[in-house]
A = this chain, B = another copy of it.
Amino acid sequence: MTHRITRGVSLYSFQEEFFLRTMTIRDAVAVAARIGARDIEIIPEQSIPGFPHVTDAWVEQWHATMAEFGTRPLAYDFFLDTLRHPGRRLTHEEQVASVRRDVDLAVRLGTTMLRAIISTPAEVLRDAAPYAEEAGVRLLLEVHAPFHYRHPWVLQHLEVMDALDSPALGFMPDMGCFVERFPRVASERALREGARKDLVDLVVKTYDDHGDVHGLMDTVGYSGGGPVEVGLARQATHYTWRDPRMLLEQMHRTHHVQAKFYEMTDDGVEYSIPYDRIVDVLVEGGYQGCLSSEYEGNRHVQDAFPVDSVEQVTRQHAMFERLLSRHESVPTTGPTTEQEG
């Protein structure tokens, strides 16, 4: 089959290096360009000191970096600090205003796909949608584990999308929904922290069998496990495995994909997430958009090993190239020009 899938990188992937000041945005974009990941996703609250005050100089530098490396700004991850003030929640109007502020900034950065964090209420996106539509950007709910398209929370969003029928609303699924095997980096860290091997094996096996993780924390506790083992059991309740064909349910509203990953092995595959099947499903569904790398393994290895996000992202893109090459690519001018209105 033919496909129109592009490759990109979320700067989220380099959080370790940004945190420790060992890489700059420019360094990260250079890496992306080198591996052919031309679409750039930014988390402004991570990358822009002084956010939400962003100077014209910063924006100019951003575009200059894009031009220098032949990359393009694509996505902008927003947060919604509903609990900004102690003791009270942002009002509906304040929440909508927060999204509009992000739309304005996204326009300046040239990023047309806005990641709406999963906690964003449907009515907030509903009331921000006209503004986004006028600005020519999309507000895409990040469907993140443990959510899915039939979850009560997401159904509220679907109701709004059905009613509004705006091109500005849609989804940005996170491939962390499809964790088929328990991430090895997580279980190995627990072992480094002194977890009992038999209890780690129990957690991993229960997860890998797609067994009942309800009561797994209790089970580990009853077996004499301490905080490390119980914590690992808790992680097993946070990861989710679903059939990637779930993606087909809302493909017509899917305009971006966050390619979460924990560990690219020496064999060039993701240890936990079946990207081969995911890519095939995306191609089958006619997905037109980006596979945007989200490396999240650093937190599981940083205690004992040097983190090499560049190597991990590079490996993921080698895998994407391999998996996409099994399908015929159709030249595309890219998702930034696809939205009408």
Contact = CB atoms under 8 A, between A and B. Distances in A.
Given A150-B212, A152-B211, 12 more contacts: A82-B224, A118-B218, A119-B218, A119-B222, A121-B224, A147-B215, A151-B212, A151-B215, A152-B219, A153-B219, A153-B222, A214-B240
Interface of A: 82, 89, 118-121, 146-148, 150-153, 202, 206, 211-212, 214-216, 218-219, 221-224, 240
Contact of A152 (B121, B151, B202, B240): B202
A7 B240 CA distance: 43
A138 to B, nearest CB: 21
A214 B121 contact: no
Nearest to A152: B206
Copies of the protein in its oligomer? 2
Nearest to A148: B212
Nearest to A224: B89
Contacts of A119: 218, 221-222
A219 B151 CA distance: 9
Nearest to A120: B222
Contacts of A221: 119
Contacts of A215: 146-147, 151, 153
A212 B216 CA distance: 18
Nearest to A212: B151
Contact of A153 (B82, B153, B218): B218
Nearest to A123: B223
Given A206-B152, A212-B152, A222 B147 contact: no
A212 B152 CA distance: 8
Contacts of A153: 215, 218-219, 222
Contacts of A223: 121
7 contacts: A82-B222, A119-B221, A146-B212, A146-B214, A147-B215, A151-B215, A152-B211
8 closest A-B pairs by CB = A153-B219, A119-B222, A146-B214, A146-B215, A152-B206, A151-B212, A89-B224, A147-B215
A236 to B, nearest CB: 11
Contacts of A218: 118-119, 153
